[in-house]
Amino acid sequence: MQSDVTQRVLLIIEKVTSENRRSKTLEEETGIPSSSWRNVLCGRQNPTISMIEAISRRWPCFAFWLATGITDEENGHINPNIPIDAQEAEHKLNMKIYFQNLEYGNNSQGIAGDLHKAISDIAFNRRQRFLESEFEGSKTGK
């Protein structure tokens, strides 16, 4: 039985490629060998993480739906079965990313590092408070 993600991958492939050149087109678009794509198309293997990532990068309007099964048309994330012009949705998504980069900067590594540090600090402070309360409890004989 195919997973939901596999079914979504196959649906995207069906919508963005012609039937007679699917695996070759996917190789040209993603750099992943056509033989690997044929294995997925024939059901001999599930799509790899690299394949899912390649589809998401090449057709970003489907990326959110591919990962979650949820559409978010307002933000340019669509299901291939919804009759919205994919190019329009992709353009909308790219514009949203562009404006977010203008507002917040496009240094996602810096943001991720800051977020990781903030989470680490919160975890450290919680653990420290817990240990202090345990220590205080043991001093008073509780």
pLDDT tens-digit series, residues 69-99: 888 777 777 777 766 566 676 777 777 777 7
Residues 4-27 have a mean pLDDT of 93
Residue 136 lies in a domain: no
Residues 3-25 have a mean pLDDT of 92
pLDDT band at 107 (very low <50, low <70, confident <90, very high): low
Residues 107-119 have a mean pLDDT of 66
Q: How many domains does the chain have?
A: 1
Residue 54 lies in a domain: yes
Q: Output Rg (C-alpha) for the chain, integer angstroms.
A: 23
Q: Is the pTM of this model over 0.75?
A: no
Per-residue confidence (pLDDT) for residue 1, from 0 to 100: 53
Residue 73 lies in a domain: no
Q: Is the pLDDT reported for residue 106 higher than 70?
A: no
User: What's the domain range around 8?
Assistant: 1-58
Residue 19 lies in a domain: yes
Per-residue confidence (pLDDT) for residue 112, from 0 to 100: 58
Nearest to 58 by CA among 72, 83, 37, 35: 37
Residue 34 lies in a domain: yes
pLDDT tens-digit series, residues 17-64: 988 999 999 999 999 999 999 999 999 999 999 999 999 999 998 999
Check which CATH number belongs to the domain holding 3 and give it: 1.10.260
Residue 50 lies in a domain: yes
Distance between CA 91 and CA 98 in Å, rounded?
Answer: 10
Distance between CA 74 and CA 93 in Å, rounded?
Answer: 9
Nearest to 5 by CA among 56, 44, 73, 39: 56
Residue 114 lies in a domain: no
Per-residue confidence (pLDDT) for residue 102, from 0 to 100: 79
Distance between CA 140 and CA 123 in Å, rounded?
Answer: 26
Residue 122 lies in a domain: no
